[in-house]
Amino acid sequence: MPPFSRSELLAARQCECRAWLHLRPRPTSQTATIELPVKGVGGPRPEDIAEVRSLARALHPGGITIAQTGTWEDRANRTRAAMARPEVAAIFDATFVADDVAVRAGILARDGKGWIVAESKVANTVGEAQELDVAAVGWVAAGAGVAVTGLRLLHLDRDYTRGDGPVDPAQLFAQSEVPFVDFGDDRERLLRVAAAGVEPSVTPGAQCSSPRACPFQDHCIPDPGPYSVHLLPGGGRLQQELLKRGISDVRKVPSELRTNPTQQHAIWAITEGKEYIGQGLAPTLGRMAWPLRFVDFEACNPAVPRWPGGRPFEQVPTQWSIHTLSLGGQLSHEQFLHLEDSDPRMAFARSLVSACGNEGTILVYGAFEATIVRQLAARFPELWGDLDQVHDRIVDFQPILRDHYYHPALRGSFSMKAVLAAVCPDLGYGDLAIQDGFTAARVWLRLVDGGTGREERERLKNQLLAYCARDSLAMVKVREALMRRGGISNVG
Ligand code: SF4
């Protein structure tokens, strides 16, 4: 049987059941073959991972890389041979096998008395999960006889600002020391779970989300049912209090805890099984200055700043879509998409100012657009006045809905996708290639990548335009439907 991996060791540390589910595809007669749902967990882009890794390795010029071919033992032997050469100061992808576990160290750097194990992370903060990653590598390396003198994490320094030239790795990374951890008990647990014939019985709890979100939550955590207090919006504190009192049914929430208006509306809607429309909703939507511009932005946030003046993971707006509803009921659409691999912000800001004009209401959904406009104004003093008047006309649709609307189908979420599905179920995102902002950011980076061919660029461009346009159209349609249900004309 091949050795266990680091992720299997860490799964055993987090939860026996997670380890069992993780091991399930292993080719042993003792593991089940049922298909389990695995919740998708978004992670860094492969391109970001490769770039960060390469920049971290640039901190160790002359380091040699262990080829990842052959068996784990082959790679471990190559690593040992490289470590025996005194002129080798750093080894990349150093491989170790000990106590039935195999690991790969991103960076193994020689220091005076031994070796430092280091890992680079595509993140600007690190926590327990990332520390355990490198600690597990250090534990196995020490078990294989390496004198491990330190464990180190490299992550992107959020204060780093790229200059005019190439990225400087010495400035880009922040480094932190990581404590050593003994994984002996976790290894024992892993061996026990691997030998078990049935899935361990584990009650879901804090371990399901810490130190890492478990991908098997859909398997273990039952559907809460239509009256669960877990379906209340923004209910963290309320839910804790209710669960402390043993109350899991929305219909049994005592009156003294029904103080938050949004939760009151939700309790009513869930209990009655129908939507709640507050009397103030339609008048609030109806008293806005015309024309109404429904505005949505998309942005990318590359891990390593791509252009001078950029910072790690900074949100850089790349496109906007504006649906404009005139007083007479006419709907028109304008859009902007930056198509070059260059900083889009100036072109974005200028085109936005021009499209927004200087009158009417700018309706957005959430705080993102107003934040971006503020950042653009701070960045471009010459556009400050224009962007400031755009900012002053922004009205956030989301808190209006929170104050005046609830539908049981929202299941606690006021995201535009949840609201659209509840209010206008015929207009969803199911027909689009891109269905969320996270994907849109990745697609934009692919669109402007020099290696993307013309046809592919055209396809990606159309996908991005369609997605952003749907986001702004969604607001138009939700407003229209709610105005109608509130008995007020959609137009002036
Ligand atoms: S969801 Fe929770 S209980 Fe289930 S495997 Fe994951 S950590 Fe264990």
DSSP 148-193: EEEEEEEEE-TT----SSS--HHHHEEEEE------HHHHHHHHHH
Cα 121 to chain center, whole Å? 15
Q: Whose CA is nearest to atom 4 of ligand 1?
A: 220
Protein residues whose CB sits closer than 6 Å to any atom of ligand 1 = 14-15, 17-18, 21, 202, 204, 207-208, 214, 216-217, 220
CA 218–ligand 1 middle distance (angstroms): 9
Check for a shared fold between 4-194 and 281-485. no
N-to-C CA span, the chain = 73
Evaluate whether 144 touches 176 at the Cβ level (below 8 Å). no
Lowest mean pLDDT among 33-47, 77-91, 176-190, 194-208: 33-47
Q: Which of 161, 156, 157 is nearest to 379 (CA)?
A: 161
pLDDT value of residue 119: 97
CA 223–ligand 1 middle distance (angstroms): 14
Per-residue model confidence as pLDDT tens digits over 383-434? 999 999 999 999 999 999 999 999 999 999 999 999 999 999 999 999 999 9
Q: Pull the structure tokens for residue 423.
A: 């209010």
**SS3 sequence, 351-369?**
HHHHHHCCCCEEEECCCHH
Fold exhibited by the domain 4-194: Lambda Exonuclease; Chain A (3.90.320)
Give the start-to-end residue ranges of the domains of the chain: 4-194, 226-271, 281-485
b/e 52-89 (16+ beta carbons within 10 angstroms → b): bbebbbebbeebbebeeeeebeebbebbeebeeeeeee
The overall average pLDDT reported for the chain is: 92
User: Domain 281-485, what architecture?
Assistant: 2-Layer Sandwich (3.30)
Confidence check: pLDDT of 236 > 90: no
Break the chain down into helix, strand, coil percent, rounded to 5.
45, 15, 40
Best mutation site among 39, 207, 218 for ligand 1, i.e. most ligand atoms within 8 A of its Cβ? 207
DSSP state of 112: S
Q: Whose CA is nearest to atom 5 of ligand 1?
A: 18
CA 230–ligand 1 middle distance (angstroms): 18
Q: What is the pTM of this model?
A: 0.85
Rounded mean pLDDT of 280-287?
90
Q: Whose CA is nearest to atom 3 of ligand 1?
A: 204
Distance CA 378, CA 369 (A): 14
